[in-house]
Amino acid sequence: MITRYAKSIVYIALTAVMFLVTALSDDALSVEELLNLAVAVIGAVVVYLVPNFSTAVGKYAKTIATAATAGILLAISFLTDGISLVEWMQIGIASLAAIGVYIVPNETRVLSTTAYISKGV
């Protein structure tokens, strides 16, 4: 059961680490850091909600979502008043989360295609 949610668990755990790094690094939360955390939390929700597909592009849907989240974090940091050390750490953790979501396998549901053959009497 837990393997079905493995990618979500990895991303949620790294989002929690991102929050701790942000909160404990400089004892202050700036607006940009809070925006980055909000985007990371939304990314965690998206990773949870995207179904586990086993073929084609759907196989990488969760990884694409996490990479997009890391890209949005980077864009927010660039568009504000420069990138602080804490924001670089957030971007790094988001990038590691995307890599982790790619690496960690998820269980997919496979329908059985076994045909039942009855023997004649």
Q: pLDDT, tens digit, for every residue of 39-55?
A: 989 998 988 888 877 77
pLDDT on residue 82: 80
Report how far residue 86's alpha carbon sits from residue 24's, in angstroms, rounded to the nearest whole number: 10
pLDDT on residue 42: 92
pLDDT on residue 109: 59
Report how far residue 95's alpha carbon sits from residue 46's, in angstroms, rounded to the nearest whole number: 16
Give the mean model confidence (pLDDT) for residues 58-82.
Answer: 87
Query: Taking a C-beta distance cutoff of 8 angstroms, is the pair 47, 101 a contact?
Result: yes
Whether residue 92 is predicted with pLDDT greater than 60 in this model: the reply is yes
Query: Taking a C-beta distance cutoff of 8 angstroms, is the pair 70, 95 a contact?
Result: yes
Give the mean model confidence (pLDDT) for residues 14-28.
Answer: 85
